[in-house]
Amino acid sequence: MEKKISILVVDDEDSVRDSLNLWFTEDGYRVECAENAKKALSILECGSFDIILTDLKMPGMDGLELLRRIRALNKDSIIIVMTAFASVDTAVKALKDGAFDYVTKPFDPDDLSHLIRNATKQISLTNENETLKKRVDSLENVEDLIGKSEAIKRVLKEIESVAPTNSSVIITGESGTGKELVARAIHANSLRKFYPMVSVHCGALTESLLESELFGHEKGAFTGALYNRKGRFEMADSGTIFLDEIATISQKMQVELLRVLETRSFMRVGGNKEISSDFRVICATNRDLKGMVEKGAFREDLYYRLNVMNIHVPPLRERVEDIPLLTDYFIKKYCLSMNKPNIAMESAALKRIMSYKFPGNIRELENMIERAIVVGNGKKISLKDLPFGKDVIDSSVESLDDFEKAFILQILNKYGWNISRTANALKVDRVTLYNKIKKYGLKS
């Protein structure tokens, strides 16, 4: 049931209090009256009101003083000051002290209706704003990190403790485990949440492109640089920069990055002006960075600067109990986006999904559910709607690299080695796909 708007009428004249009480009650508002400012303050100590209508001239404390006291109490009521003796000075004072409006008694009935209607509109806008803010906050928080397993609970706890700090964080975990979601949750729970979180997928960019992407460039810095461009570090000022696939950056970029992290300043490519930016760094990788440091493939000093805090996101196979919840979440998500009625999954299909190892983790599960909804009969997801035994590789392969190699080869063959279509199907960019082909020595 909708909450009634509450109004407190403060006036030393009985007839004014009685008339307004009756008028507002007939309009469906909850009304209370006080004959002076002192009484009003004692009423306000016990509760708050959406709207306070106060007379200006009252014996003892006047309306302006009451207005100041209410504001000092941090009450966010809408205050309307009424007076029989209007003057520009008092009106300006009242409005400066935070009154919503200043009106002269007696009112035209229509003006009174408008006044209250405007005030209630303001209240509903404020409430709507609050609700939206809460919704945005909760969406940005951890709603997308679904699960009830101990493993995911640990991740949530770590997010909670690390978020309010300003420390750099490395998020580790296999591909498709939701590392970017963790980064977003950290940002959304940090003091920087009202500023941007800028993401950079380092693996998708060549060294020169990454340099320009991170630091920006000046017009004419290289062929095609027709305009000045802000870099991601500059865009992340006061916010967070998320460097995904950090392990893929070159040695040269590692040096550059270390310098930026130490000085929090940089120069645009082709520029000669030092630019400062206040950002927090969150990185993610699916590789063993520590091992790379030991092998000399990743700078130790950079590693320690980035790895102030570490959050490891477990693979899906280590939190099997979350699969039904995730499945349900993706079914709802895709049914909604495809404008289909919400459908259920047959128990045999769910059982098969739960026994699968999911080398592609949650991303693979998500794709599987999306596909099942597309190809299914729209009533129930059954085993035949799932790709097991058709184009999904047997999960018995031991190494992730072996799996990835075989999987990429399979999709490449499926699309006749068309790089764009294969990259699109794998949901990676063309550069990443080329790198993988090179890495695994794949040939058509």
Q: Which residues of the shown chain bind other proteins in the complex (CB under 8 A)?
A: 13, 15-16, 18-20, 22-23, 25-28, 105-110, 112-113
Residues 320 and 382: their CA atoms lie apart, in Å, by: 19
User: To the nearest whole angstrom, how small is the minimum distance from the Cβ of residue 65 to other proteins?
Assistant: 22
219 in Cβ contact with 271 (< 8 Å):
no
User: To the nearest whole angstrom, how small is the minimum distance from the Cβ of residue 44 to other proteins?
Assistant: 22
* Sign of the dihedral defined by the CA atoms of residues 424, 427, 432, 437, in that order: negative
Nearer to other proteins, 2 or 398 (CB): 2
Nearer to other proteins, 20 or 331 (CB): 20
User: To the nearest whole angstrom, how small is the minimum distance from the Cβ of residue 147 to other proteins?
Assistant: 46
| Cα dist from 129 to 122, 124, 251, 268, whole Å | 10, 8, 47, 38
Residues 270 and 99: their CA atoms lie apart, in Å, by: 54
Nearer to other proteins, 85 or 227 (CB): 85
User: To the nearest whole angstrom, how small is the minimum distance from the Cβ of residue 5 to other proteins?
Assistant: 13
Tokens of 139: 């969406």
Which residue carries 């097991």 as its tokens? 388
User: To the nearest whole angstrom, how small is the minimum distance from the Cβ of residue 29 to other proteins?
Assistant: 9
User: To the nearest whole angstrom, how small is the minimum distance from the Cβ of residue 62 to other proteins?
Assistant: 19
* Sign of the dihedral defined by the CA atoms of residues 423, 428, 429, 435, in that order: negative
Nearer to other proteins, 115 or 381 (CB): 115
Report strand pairing: 274-276 vs 265-267. Answer: antiparallel
145 in Cβ contact with 151 (< 8 Å):
no
53 in Cβ contact with 10 (< 8 Å):
yes
The total number of residues written for the chain in this structure: 444
Residues 300 and 323: their CA atoms lie apart, in Å, by: 37
CB atoms within 10 A of CB 391: 11
Nearer to other proteins, 20 or 423 (CB): 20
User: To the nearest whole angstrom, how small is the minimum distance from the Cβ of residue 153 to other proteins?
Assistant: 48
264 in Cβ contact with 224 (< 8 Å):
no
Any residues with CB less than 8 A from the CB of 291 and at least 6 apart, and which? none
Q: Which helix (H) or strand (E) segment is 199 a member of?
A: strand 197-201
User: To the nearest whole angstrom, how small is the minimum distance from the Cβ of residue 105 to other proteins?
Assistant: 6
Nearer to other proteins, 53 or 408 (CB): 53
Q: SS3 of 380, please? A: strand
Q: SS3 of 10, please? A: strand
Nearer to other proteins, 26 or 398 (CB): 26
Nearer to other proteins, 104 or 355 (CB): 104
User: To the nearest whole angstrom, how small is the minimum distance from the Cβ of residue 84 to other proteins?
Assistant: 9
Nearer to other proteins, 82 or 408 (CB): 82
